[in-house]
Chain A
Amino acid sequence: MSAHLSPDLPRKPCKTGLCGLFITVLLFFCITATFGCRGVEHHQKGRFSSAIMSFDPDGSEIHFHQKTYYSREGSAGGIGAAAGGGCGCY
């Protein structure tokens, strides 16, 4: 069935809950970063040299997935890419 849109609906500048969550997480992030951990010594980091622990081993896949998500979803930006230029329209 049709769902008709009223042209006079007030525009919501921001979802209040999400804004609050944004700010809380961001402040937590900054405070923790400032007093960050020092616990792991260099000789204890051997596990991170394994390829399965690398965050970005395949640039081609990241490049393409970001492009398709940017084009096919209403949201953009995040890990690996900024909300970028170009049409991005499929």
Chain B
Amino acid sequence: MLLRKLPPPFLIAILACIAALLPKTASAWQERTAEETLKESERSFSNEAGHGSVTFGLNYYQNDDNGDGNPFLDEALTDIEPVIIFDYNVTDRFSINGDLSYDYVSSASLKRLDGLGHQSGATGDYYYGANLGGAYKLNPDLRIGGSLSFSTEYDYDSIGLGSFVARDLNNKNTTLKLNLNAFQDSIDVIRWNGWQGVRWDGLGSSEEPETDDRTTLSLTGNWYQIITPTTHSELGISATHQSGFLETAYNFVVMEYDDPDHDPPSRTLGPDSFHPLTRDDDLLDLDEDITGQIYSEKLPDTRTRGSIFGRVRTSLSPATAVELGGRLYADSWGISSVTIEPRLYQWLIEDKLSARLRYRFYAQTAADDYSAHFEMEDPPTFRTQDSDLGDFTANGAGIKFSWYVSETLRFDVSGDYILRSDGIDQVLGGAGFNWAF
């Protein structure tokens, strides 16, 4: 269990957070006059029944590959995603929310493998996701909620359950929120060569489709705080434990021979099956003159992640606000990362047109089992050449404009460009609207 693996101070801190969420004392509630309680109640329940909002967005992602990431894989990729998000107040106390999304993914690695048996599961061409949640106000200061999510793609199905409890404190200057999410994924293990069918039973191989699963449990605590009449902040901590099949099924690793004239043996079946890589092999589009053997990626079947994140936003004037956000992250695979994100918000036309400028710095260390090159003479048990698990830094900048057509209708358009030290530069764009009713 996750809690057993946490260090004692970590556990104590989480328990302290839970304690802070519980109702303080009856006297704190009774200290208010009836008039104050009424005003508080009116403010809290101002979201009247029958009202809600709908958000639509069309998002775009694209990255090139200049060869500096995984040397054996063209990682260029494009993703187009329409998404609809809604929320609706069923009663003054009960609201529902949800989202529907679809991703169309086109990647070079996927096209390259078209001719090999099954098409590779390389993100699968499509992704459908849906989420439905509800929230209930137990009293003006206490809310609970839950959610159910489902997503499916070529080789993955995922079901998620979520719950939260949020408590306002200190005349609503403070909000504490605790989220618990769980996901159960089932995976068709389609390997890099489109092969899904060899399960080693100790005596030989069978042609049963290989499947596996993955379980994710995530606990997140958030603390929102109004600090001054012009400054507010958010601080959070998240702990996640994952177990099961954690590799990317279609990822492969090239084990290289020192001698490029070495003639690799024929391919094998079984738990450590491999494919020979010869000098004239046209599978990998190699620039380098190497020979070796191609194995599937292999990674540990558990992963524990932890992160601390926060941001502070202050209003410099009625037309200008600035924010500084950041995150520290570490996990049991050896990856640690830091994110720093300053933002500037500016009304260009008061209450009509706003602009947001942001810069994002991200740096991560490599996973313990990552290497750009592996030697056939010294094969590790766990191995990955996934550049997203390698060490890199990323510098991103973006701009966004929001046009407030009326009090109930807003249009957004945004664009970001990210420069990554391993050459996986990225472009993100989006356009959409929000309609409140």
The chain A residues found within 8 Å of chain B, CB to CB, are 2-7, 9, 11-15, 18-19, 21-23, 25-27, 29-31, 33-34, 36-42, 44-48, 50-53, 55, 57-61, 63-65, 67-68, 71-79, 82-87, 89-90
Contacts and interface: CB of A to CB of B under 8 A. Distances in A.
A86 B160 CA distance: 9
B230 interface: yes
A34 B414 contact: no
B240 interface: yes
B158 interface: yes
B61 A68 contact: yes
A82 B179 contact: yes
A87 B188 CA distance: 11
Contacts of B197: none
Contact of B332 (A14, A71, A87): A14
Contact of B368 (A4, A9, A25): A9
A39 to B, nearest CB: 7
Contact of A87 (B13, B55, B153): B153
A77 B218 contact: yes
SS class of chain B's interface: helix, strand, loop or mixed?
A: strand
B248 A29 contact: no
Contacts of B250: 89
B185 A86 contact: yes
A69 to B, nearest CB: 8
B243 interface: no
A41 B230 CA distance: 12
Interface string B57-88: 10101010000000000010101010101000
A36 B173 contact: yes
Contact of A68 (B79, B156, B187): B79
Given A22-B330, A27-B13, 13 more contacts: A7-B378, A23-B13, A29-B235, A33-B174, A45-B229, A52-B321, A52-B347, A60-B56, A61-B432, A64-B59, A85-B158, A87-B156, A90-B79
Given A12-B368, A82-B218, A82-B220, A59 B346 contact: no
B119 interface: no
Contact of B307 (A41, A65, A78): A78
B237 interface: yes
A50 B318 contact: yes
16 contacts: A37-B173, A37-B174, A55-B311, A58-B57, A60-B83, A61-B414, A61-B432, A67-B103, A72-B424, A73-B388, A76-B240, A77-B329, A82-B240, A85-B216, A86-B156, A87-B121
Nearest to B424: A72
Contact of A37 (B75, B216, B227): B227
Which of A15, A29, A55 lies at the interface centre, i.e. has the most chain B CB atoms within 10 A of its CB? Answer: A29
B430 interface: yes
B172 to A, nearest CB: 8
A90 B402 contact: no
Nearest to B24: A34
> In which size bucket is the chain B interface?
35 or more
A90 B386 CA distance: 10
Contact of A5 (B171, B218, B229, B374): B374
Contacts of B155: 87
B336 A47 contact: no
Given A74-B388, A79-B309, A4 B374 contact: yes
A84 B183 contact: yes
B381 A7 contact: yes
B198 interface: no
Nearest to B235: A29
A13 B332 contact: yes
B123 to A, nearest CB: 6
Contacts of A67: 81, 103
B237 A33 contact: no
B231 to A, nearest CB: 9
Nearest to B105: A90
Which of A58, A68, A71, A87 lies at the interface centre, i.e. has the most chain B CB atoms within 10 A of its CB? Answer: A87
B7 interface: yes
B171 A76 contact: no
A50 to B, nearest CB: 7
Nearest to B242: A83
Contact of A63 (B57, B347, B402): B57
B308 A52 contact: no
A75 B315 contact: no
Given A18-B330, A86-B151, A89-B123, A64 B430 contact: yes
B311 to A, nearest CB: 7
A47 B320 CA distance: 11
